[in-house]
Amino acid sequence: MLGFTERNGLFLVFDTLSDRLSAAFKNLRGKGKLTDADIDATAREIRIALLEADVALPVVKEFIAAVKERASGAEVRGGLNPAQQVIKIVNEELVTILGGATRELRMAKKPPTVIMLAGLQGAGKTTLAGKLAKWLKETRHQTPMLVAADLQRPNAVTQLQVVGQRAGVPVFAPEPGNGVGDPVEVARRAMDEARTKQHSVVIVDTAGRLGVDEELMKQAADIRDAVSPDEILFVVDAMIGQDAVTTAQAFLDGVGFDGVVLSKLDGDARGGAALSIAQVTGRQVMFASNGEKLEDFDVFHPDRMASRILGMGDVMSLIEQAERTFDADQAAKTAAKLQKKGGKDFTLDDFLAQMQSVRKMGPLTKIFGMLPGAAQFKDQLENFDEREIDRIEAVIHSMTPAERADPHIINGSRRARIAKGSGTEVATVSGLVERFFEARKMMSAMASGKGLPGMPGMPGMPGMPGAGGGKKGKQQAKKGKKRGSGNPAKRANPGAGRPAEPQPGELPAAFGGGNFAGGNFELPDAFKNLVDGKDEK
Task: Could you list the residues known to form a binding site for GTP, using ranges.
Answer: 119-126, 205-209, 263-266
Q: How many CA atoms lie within 13 A of 269 on its CB side?
A: 22
| Closest among 158, 124, 153 to 287, alpha carbons compared | 124
Classify each residue of 417-433 as buried b or exposed e, where b means 16 or more C-beta atoms within 10 Å of its C-beta: bbbeebebeeebbbbbb
Q: How far is CA 341 from the centre of its chain?
A: 35
User: Which residues on adjacent β-strands are paired with residue 146?
Assistant: 171, 203
For residue 469, give the amino acid letter.
G
* Pair 315, 108: CB distance under 8 Å: no
User: Which residues on adjacent β-strands are paired with residue 7?
Assistant: 10
| Closest among 218, 211, 258, 217 to 237, alpha carbons compared | 211
Helix or strand holding residue 172 (H, E): strand 171-172
Exposed (0-12), middle (13-18) or buried (19+): which is 101, by Cβ within 10 Å?
A: exposed
Phi and psi angles of residue 519, each rounded to the nearest 5 degrees, phi first: 85, 15
Helix or strand holding residue 481 (H, E): helix 471-482
Rg (CA), the chain: 28
Annotated binding site: 119-126, 205-209, 263-266
CA angle, corner 65, sides to 60 and 67, nearest 5?
Answer: 95
CA 169/CA 129 separation, integer angstroms = 11
